[in-house]
Amino acid sequence: MNKALALILFLYLFQSVVAQEKVFPGADEETPSRAQYFSWINNTNEGTTEEQTLINLDFFKWLNQEYGMVLDIYAFDAGAIDGKRFYGSIHSERFKKQFPNGFDPLYKKAKSINTRLGVWGGPDGFGDTKSEKQARINQMVSLCKDYEFALFKFDAVCGPLRPEKEDAFIEMMTKCRQYSPDLILLNHRLGLKKSKPYATTFLWGGQETYIDVFTTNNTTAPHHRAGALDRGLVPGLKRLTEDHGTCISSCIDYWDDDLIMQAFNRSMILAPEIYGNPWLLNDNEFAKLARIYNIHRKYGKILVNGKVLNEEKYGKSAVSRGNDKTRLITLSNLTWEPITYTIKLDEEIGLNTNKDIELRQFHPTEKIMGHYSKGSEVKVRVEPFRSCLLLASSQPYTEPGIVGTDYQIVRNVPNKPVLIKILGMPGSRSKIQLTNAGKYKTATINGKPAQALIKGKSVNINFEGEKLKKEAHRKLADLKETNTPEDAQALYEATCFAADNNALEVRSLKRSGVTNIPQVQKARDAFFNQPVFVERGIWDKNLFDDDMKTGFWPSRKYNIDQKVKGGCFRLDLGRITDLDQIIIRVPNDFSLQPHLRDEGNYAEVSSDLRNWKTITYYAGEEMLINIDEPIRYLRLWSQPGRIVEIEAKKDGKLLDRSKWTASNLFAHAKKMETQKTWKASFKLDEIPEGSYLSIAINGKHGIEGAYAAAKIDGEYKGCPDRAVSFPSNTWEFVNSRQDSNYTYYLPLDKSMLGKDIEVYVMGFDKENLDIKPEVWISANPTPYKEQILELTK
């Protein structure tokens, strides 16, 4: 072989090697985002099932058919194939028990709504022999070949990738992408080396977003998601990373502000990305969820280009995304007062056009703010602890809109009437016009003809209710140090009895109320009725269901005791009740511990939280507490480990238990000695719909070191909610514990108008009493009155 031929052969081989080493990891920085849901927190490490997944997919199919929402990826999280510290097989008995028909029916259902599947797993599983390695490779390749999988989420929780198996990993990923070239590989703390180029993303900051479990507030705030809104930005706005999405499962209020920042501010390769239990939203919120997904899909191709805006002018983490003609701008406000930003419509936000620019708001409400020449400056108000999404564009906008007031597009899909909520504050009047009116044949407002709108004319609208004299969100008072009142323990008990220790998802269910949507109800039932949820004993209703196989007990996940200072079992009968006997049942002596059979124990009962009577009862599988006066409240000095049923009798007849509640983690009042007390007094002359007090305890107070409560015309009112959340018998992992900046929330209603309201904060940690409590009033949702505009083509 001559030298020239040898050189040519060398160059060919060299180029071939280089070409082989060049890897396309399923996406790049310019790849539009893919909308995703993944099932973590809907199931935990035990994994999901075919039945539950089909029900969940029916929910997303309903969102698709009703609102046009498209989900690109539905990802199974832990336990479908692999699990914590093990590698599984689609041929195993475990898998067949969960998925008796394999992935076929799930693939078919997902494909019917243009959704592809994904799966959680580990990076290894190649065994120690050639046959084991090949079996793992064949299994993962088959997911792409036979089922068009779009995502692998590989997590170190399953186990690391052994260095000697990196070649096998590379072979697997290479073959998988022959069938799914756009396969995304999420790198969750894997420590890949040689195989790192085959991963699409890394987990940003290692942070998961389960509210008040993994993500919490660092400041006082009027809701639980201030910490989520304050996550900031990846350096360089790098999109090939993952922020773990927005968790919709716990502490749901203001989920939409959180998702706006995830989808449009960071806008990574997976966006919008949610996980958990979105079916726990209330029926009025599903349209907004779909709307966020739909807006993101509409502008997905240009959202890949981002620009961080000047922080001094636009606030922390403000971002503009788009091209020369169209920009989507995200702003936020992480303070207690409204902030007005001035938006300059030119190159400062990334626009480079000489045409007039229309400025619209998409969130928190939709609003047409006007048409402006290039370089104009427009003031935009962002409400406290909220995000804001704006559209600035010189391009024609094709969807309908309302000029003259805020609105929200509920539905705009083919072959169905367009539905728009027209929004206005109580007692206000607006003169509105419809944009793109020529596209429609009929218009009705609240069912009454409004044909003038489709002719391009203005229509006057009146919003019912009394006009508000004050801002719905405002500061009411600073709390001042005062002498500790004699009834401090009663105030503490008021909040303990108003709150609960149920799983965070149970609190979300209570928050959202009854649903009238069959697909939502089925998804909720599938979640709450799954055996592992019931068997963990994390819902107090299990004590009142006539089932000795269910119960409610303090959980010890990861060997972490969640009880505060030993805990205290509390029972609230819902009203003062005349009864003879309360019966507490446990299934066996083990469940009775730390009590011993036939030893004496103490219960306390009260009708008013101030005066308590102590009663002796005897431990056993059936514990009888005899009572000779009407009561409402009961607490146990020491509680059995596993209570499964509680009943009460009067004259031998069982009493109704439908209003009963219980808790088991809060400390006994005798263990919470008040060191210092703060107080504020005021009256409210108006209470907008949805109002609540935020009792903000600024400063370090210690873990469970400060509690808030109120008296309204002398009646005790406890706070049923708090950020960071009250201790709970958590569904997954454990509650976050914070030693500073608690905010307690107290709902308000019209019955409290004009009454004397006294708000108290009690400090229990003598080492941490340098705090500054204050009280604010807010309303959620914003107390708009709404009218429904329906348009047909």
Tell me: pLDDT of 18 over 80.
no
Average model confidence (pLDDT) across the chain: 95
Alpha carbon separation from 7 to 1, 14, 21 (Å, rounded): 10, 10, 21
Minimal CA–CA distance to 546: which of 696, 647, 432?
647
Count CA within 13 A, CB hemisphere, residue 649: 9
Q: 385-417, pLDDT tens digit by residue? A: 999 999 999 999 999 999 999 999 999 999 999
Q: Is the dihedral of CA 348, 351, 352, 357 positive or negative?
A: negative
Tell me the pLDDT band of 3, cut-offs 50, 70 and 90: low
d(CA 273, CA 41): 14
Query: 65 is written with which tokens?
Result: 């058919």
Q: 289-306, pLDDT tens digit by residue? A: 999 999 999 999 999 999
Tell me: pLDDT of 8 over 50.
no
pLDDT of residue 2: 52
Tell me: pLDDT of 657 over 90.
yes
d(CA 148, CA 117): 7
Strands (E), 184-323: 184-188, 201-202, 246-248, 270-276, 306-308, 319-322
Minimal CA–CA distance to 759: which of 378, 411, 494, 410?
494
d(CA 575, CA 418): 47
Tell me the pLDDT band of 557, cut-offs 50, 70 and 90: confident
Average pLDDT over residues 124-130: 96
pLDDT of residue 20: 46
Tell me the pLDDT band of 735, cut-offs 50, 70 and 90: very high
pLDDT of residue 231: 95
Q: 213-250, pLDDT tens digit by residue? A: 999 999 999 999 999 999 999 999 999 999 999 999 99
Strands (E), 346-487: 357-363, 367-372, 377-382, 386-393, 401-403, 406-411, 418-424, 429-435, 442-445, 448-449, 459-462, 474-478, 480-482
Minimal CA–CA distance to 71: which of 24, 28, 39?
39
- Which residues lie closer than 8 Å to 262 by C-beta, 6 or more apart? 243, 245, 246, 271, 272, 273
Q: 321-353, pLDDT tens digit by residue? A: 999 999 999 999 999 999 999 999 999 999 999
Query: 426 is written with which tokens?
Result: 């109580």
HEC letters along 748-777: CCHHHCCCCEEEEEEECCCCCCCCEEEEEE
The one-letter amino acid at 678: W
pLDDT of residue 21: 61
The pairing of beta strand 34-38 with beta strand 743-747: unpaired
Count CA within 13 A, CB hemisphere, residue 133: 14
Query: 87 is written with which tokens?
Result: 């590698």
Query: 688 is written with which tokens?
Result: 């907008």
- Dihedrals phi, psi of 534, to nearest 5 degrees: -65, -45
Q: 415-429, pLDDT tens digit by residue? A: 999 999 999 999 999
What 3-state DSSP class applies to 124?
coil
d(CA 347, CA 730): 49
In the chain the first and final C-alpha atoms are separated, in Å, by 77
Of the chain, the percentage scoring pLDDT greater than 70 comes to 97
Q: Judge contact between 531 and 564, C-beta under 8 A.
A: no
d(CA 341, CA 339): 6
Alpha carbon separation from 525 to 119, 121, 515, 645, 787 (Å, rounded): 23, 27, 11, 22, 32
Tell me the pLDDT band of 9, cut-offs 50, 70 and 90: very low
d(CA 390, CA 165): 48
Q: Where are the domains of the chain?
A: 474-500+673-779, 536-553+569-663
Q: Note the helical H segments in 469-619.
A: 488-498, 504-512, 518-528, 531-535, 589-592
Measured in residues, the chain has a length of 793
Does residue 10 or residue 743 have the better pLDDT? 743
Average pLDDT over residues 498-527: 98
Tell me: pLDDT of 199 over 90.
yes
Q: Judge contact between 421 and 397, C-beta under 8 A.
A: no
Question: 118 pairs with which residues across the strands?
Answer: 75, 151
Most distant CA pair in the chain: distance in Å?
Answer: 111
Average pLDDT over residues 127-148: 97
- Which residues lie closer than 8 Å to 709 by C-beta, 6 or more apart? 491, 492, 494, 495, 716, 717, 718, 719, 744, 759, 760, 762
Q: Judge contact between 38 and 275, C-beta under 8 A.
A: yes
- Which residues lie closer than 8 Å to 312 by C-beta, 6 or more apart? none
Tell me the pLDDT band of 1, cut-offs 50, 70 and 90: very low
Does residue 669 or residue 207 have the better pLDDT? 669
Average pLDDT over residues 199-225: 94
Instruction: Indicate the DSSP class of residue 40.
Output: B
- Which residues lie closer than 8 Å to 292 by C-beta, 6 or more apart? 256, 259, 260, 263, 272, 363
Q: Judge contact between 261 and 318, C-beta under 8 A.
A: no
Count CA within 13 A, CB hemisphere, residue 544: 17
Q: What's this model's pTM, rounded to 2 decimal places?
A: 0.95
CATH number assigned to the domain covering 536-553+569-663: 2.60.120.260
d(CA 228, CA 210): 10
- Dihedrals phi, psi of 198, to nearest 5 degrees: -85, -10
What 3-state DSSP class applies to 263?
helix
Does this chain's domain 474-500+673-779 share its CATH topology with 536-553+569-663?
A: yes
Q: Is the bond preceding 272 in cis, omega lying within 30 degrees of 0?
A: yes
Tell me: pLDDT of 4 over 60.
no
Tell me the pLDDT band of 158, cut-offs 50, 70 and 90: confident
Q: 44-99, pLDDT tens digit by residue? A: 999 999 999 999 999 999 999 999 999 999 999 999 999 988 999 999 999 999 99
Strands (E), 426-551: 429-435, 442-445, 448-449, 459-462, 474-478, 480-482
The one-letter amino acid at 196: K
Instruction: Indicate the DSSP class of residue 23.
Output: -
pLDDT of residue 559: 81
Angle at 147 between CA 141 and CA 151, to 5 degrees: 70
CATH number assigned to the domain covering 474-500+673-779: 2.60.120
C-alpha of 783 from chain center? 22
Tell me: pLDDT of 22 over 90.
no
